[in-house]
Structures are given as structure tokens and as C-alpha cells.
Amino acid sequence: MTPEESPFTLRHLEEPEIQFEGGTETSPKRGLIRYGPRLYEEGHHTIKLGIIGDRDSIRRLTELLHDMEVGIHPGTSDQPWQVPYPGLGKSSPLNLSINAKKGWRRQIRRRDIQSVTSKSTPRDRMERFLKLVRKDIEIIERDSVQPNAIIVCIPQEVMDACTPENQDHARIQSEGSDLRNRIKLIGMEARIPTQLIKPSTLAIRTDRQRASRAWNLTVGLLYKSQRGHPWKTRQIEDGHCYAGLSFYRERDEGDDVIRAALAHVFHGRDHIILQSDPLPNITEDENGSPHLSYEAAKQVGEQILEYYEAQKGTRPSRFVLHKPSVFWEEEREGLLDATDGVRDLDLVWVRRRPKIRLFPPTDYPAMRGTLLSVPDDDVHYLYTSGYVPEETTYQGSGVPSPIEIRPDEICETPSLEICKEILFFTKLDWNTSDYAIRMPATVSVAKRVGTILSEVDTESISEVRPQYFYYM
């Protein structure tokens, strides 16, 4: 078969640039060093930081914060992907400081840990630890000057006690409840974003690990402390509204209630989180993926556009919805009616694990930005992870695989432009300093939010907050 006869097309998409305080770059770390973060106040920014943890974790975290002040070099080699951490202070290109005063520290004492481990079941131990965390956050909250964010260090004994047998520590869950999600909700109730740290995060053995921890901690805390993103994309046009959709079940004493978690992005705003009302007549397909009824789809579309109109004073000219499952006819009809008056409607199915991979004839995996398309079917496979030439490495584990992108029949924008937009949305998650994330932030953020809002004590919160920094 000649290239002209092939049903596939293969191209490489240009790496999107992101906007910092003084210029653009493709790499978050290099951009922060070269141009500095976008700050929402003039001059120097200080992150006011609260800390909750046992004696050992507070000591280790304090050591890391001290190293962050003076700077950390990840090694002796000059590899592009080993970006040194430049340090903090007014002379740092980051233009940041961290103030973790003792009045914002709460130590989990030995007797507190024993009160957790003495409970008979993992769920009871989790509930006891959450009660301790809630009390400490409330004490910090009552300070005359509140911190911008609170780090909660999970003691190893608490992790062991709260993790059921035959379950690893990747996520601390018991009877359907997740420790991380519950702490996020406690922080939301106090109106103070939280950052969780596990013992493995503070078990630092090399300067490379130390620099990586410092970068990720800085980016996350900066976003949470100033309530705004440290970089943005240049490619969101005014009048364009993007949203990602994910479903979750709200657990209560009665029947499960399905809601939608919506990650909302438009010009001048970063991730805004919307929680739908209970959705009527949800149907699951053979893979367990929920699908909206006409009424539910119309409700979701109207809610997104009502928020946009309240913020911008007008309806968008273009509305793009990313969804992790195929669109059914009822969903199309509901969204079409909800978006009456919007010039362009783009419905896009974005799937995480397609059954296809590319194997280049080199020692390196496929490059990030590689796009394999099947034009006749309008199906596209985009490598959002992979070898990055400017960093001369692939930093993932295993062989990278693409994500699958299927523009729906209701999609006005050319497919190539849709794929380019999805690539730049992989650079808009301020929960990491990595070069990019795998899924577009519209979808990944909505999914993360849904897992938190599904928790059992969601109803105990007086108001579910829409800002992403409470969930990350």
C-alpha cells in the first residue's frame, strides 16, 4: 500500500506555548524561571502556609521548605529536563516567599495517633483522623490572619491503620470513602485550600527528587495561595466557552443520585467548577458510562451558558463540550436546544484508552503531539504524552499511548483545530509542574471534582465552592 492509498494520515502538532508574567514558553518550569509566574498583586508574593502533621513529617517538610529557600540543583548533568529549582525570596525569578509561622502549625501528637489506631475498623480510624484534622483546621482558621493554604501531612501509622487489608496506599479508601477527598471538603468548608502530603513524598533520597517535590509544591501552593493560575494559554479566544463533563453518584441514605461535575474554562477565567442539580433519567451503556436524557442534557447546557452569561454579559459565540463517552441522540438534541443563539456548537468525545499504539523506528517512543487520523471515520489518535524533543526525554513509565478524539456529528470546527485545542488543554492543570498532563484539563478536572463531590459528607457543606483550587 502506498502512502496515497493509506486510510491514515500522520502529522505532528506544534507544541502550544503558555503565557507567563513576561513572556511565553512551552515548559512550565523553564517559563517560571525565565519570565516569572503571573501574580495577582504588585511586587513580591508571600505564600502564607499552615501545616498539620506529626513530629516527623513536620520536621521533614520544614527541611524541604528550607532547601527551597536556597535552591536545589537536581544533579551534575546539564540535561534540559533536569531544571534546577531556583530558590525563593525577592531575588528569585519566582518572586515568591513562604511564611509558615508556628502559629499556623498543628502537631498530631502520639496520643492522637493512638486514638486513631485503637479504633476497630479502617472506616472508624479514618473518621477519627478526619475529626482531628477538622479540629486543627478550625483552630488555624480562627487565627487573626489566616494562611492561604494548609498542608496536611498523613502520618505513616495513620495510613497503615486506615488502609484495609489487600489495598495499597495509592489511595486511602474505606467503604467507598476516600481520605483525600474528605480532607478537601473540610478545607472547602473552612474556605482554606488544602494540600495533602504522604510519607513517601517526604522520603527524599536524591536532589532530583527534592527538586521535583519543590517544583510541584510551589506550583500548587502558588495557585492556591493567590487564588489564580501562575500561567495561562494564549489560545482561548474571547467569546469561546469550553467545558468538560463527568458524572458522579451522590451517596446518601436513599437511592443514588447522579449529578454532573462540570469544568468550565473561558477567556479571563480558569477552571470554574459547577455542580449540576440531580439529573433526570440517566441511562448507562454496556460499558457502564452514563448518558444524559434530553431533559438532563438541556439542563447541563443551560447551566454552563447561564454562568458564562452572568460573568461576561452575553452568550458565547462558540461552545465546546468535551465528554468521555459518545454522544447519544437525546444528548445532542438537548444540547442543541440549550445552546439556541450560540453560533458554533462543538461536541467532542475524548477517550483515555484506545486500542492503538505507534512504534517509531527509533530508540524513542512516539513524540508528544503526534497525531494519527482516520479521515474517513473522523477519528483521531493524539499523543499527549511521549518523547519531548526539547527536553530530550520521555519522563513517563511504560510505553505511551494516545488518547482518542472523535468530533461528533454536531461539530462545526475542523477536526484538526479540535485536536490542537485539546493538546493545549493538557498544559492547563496547575496541580503539577510537569511539562503536560495526559488528558485535557476540561475532562481531567471534571473527573477529579466528581470524585470529591461524591463523598458522603458533601451535604454537610453549606455551599459547594466553584474554584478549582479547593479540589486539587
Convert the pLDDT of each residue in 250-305 to its tens digit.
765 455 677 788 888 877 666 677 777 777 777 877 777 888 999 999 999 999 99
Integer Cα distance of 238 and 444 in angstroms: 23
- Summarize pLDDT for 367-395 with one digit per residue, the tens: 999 999 998 899 999 999 998 888 778 77
Average per-residue pLDDT for the chain:
87
Decide: 37 and 20 in contact? Cβ < 8 Å.
Answer: yes
Predicted local distance difference test score (pLDDT) of residue 172:
72
- Summarize pLDDT for 181-228 with one digit per residue, the tens: 899 999 999 999 999 999 999 999 999 899 999 999 999 999 999 888
Is the predicted pLDDT of residue 150 greater than 60, yes or no? Answer: yes
Is the predicted pLDDT of residue 457 greater than 60, yes or no? Answer: no
Write out the three cell numbers for 425.
Answer: 488543554
The per-residue DSSP string of 190-227 comes to HT--EEEE-HHHH---SHHHHHHHHHHHHHHHHHHHHT
Decide: 261 and 246 in contact? Cβ < 8 Å.
Answer: yes
Predicted local distance difference test score (pLDDT) of residue 4:
58
Q: Which residues contact 136 (CB under 8 A, 6 or more apart)?
A: 52, 106, 108
- pLDDT band at residue 80, thresholds of 50, 70 and 90? low
Is the predicted pLDDT of residue 238 greater than 90, yes or no? Answer: no
Q: What's the predicted TM-score (pTM) here?
A: 0.89
- Summarize pLDDT for 302-355 with one digit per residue, the tens: 999 998 998 889 999 999 999 999 999 999 999 999 999 899 999 999 998 777
- pLDDT band at residue 96, thresholds of 50, 70 and 90? very high
Predicted local distance difference test score (pLDDT) of residue 253:
46
Is the predicted pLDDT of residue 360 greater than 80, yes or no? Answer: yes
Is the predicted pLDDT of residue 436 greater than 80, yes or no? Answer: yes
Predicted local distance difference test score (pLDDT) of residue 251:
64
Q: Which residues contact 36 (CB under 8 A, 6 or more apart)?
A: 20, 21, 22, 93, 94, 95
Is the predicted pLDDT of residue 365 greater than 70, yes or no? Answer: yes
Is the predicted pLDDT of residue 248 greater than 70, yes or no? Answer: yes
- pLDDT band at residue 447, thresholds of 50, 70 and 90? confident
**What b/e sequence results for 86-120 when a residue is b if at least 16 CB atoms lie within 10 Å of its CB, and e otherwise?**
bbbeeebebbbebebeeebbbebeeebbeebeebe
For the chain, the C-alpha Rg in angstroms (whole number) is 23
Q: How many residues appear in the chain?
A: 472
**What b/e sequence results for 226-251 when a residue is b if at least 16 CB atoms lie within 10 Å of its CB, and e otherwise?**
bebbbbbbebbeebbbbbbbbbbbbb
Q: Which residue has the higher pLDDT, 27 or 399?
A: 27
Write out the three cell numbers for 460.
Answer: 454537610
In 3D, which of 294, 259, 258 has the Cα closest to residue 273? 259
Integer Cα distance of 121 and 113 in angstroms: 15
Write out the three cell numbers for 19.
Answer: 503565557
Is the predicted pLDDT of residue 400 greater than 90, yes or no? Answer: no
Provide, rounded to the nearest whole percent, the portion of the chain with pLDDT above 70.
91
Integer Cα distance of 58 and 155 in angstroms: 10
Predicted local distance difference test score (pLDDT) of residue 274:
72
Write out the three cell numbers for 16.
Answer: 502550544
Strand partners, 12: 370
Predicted local distance difference test score (pLDDT) of residue 126:
92
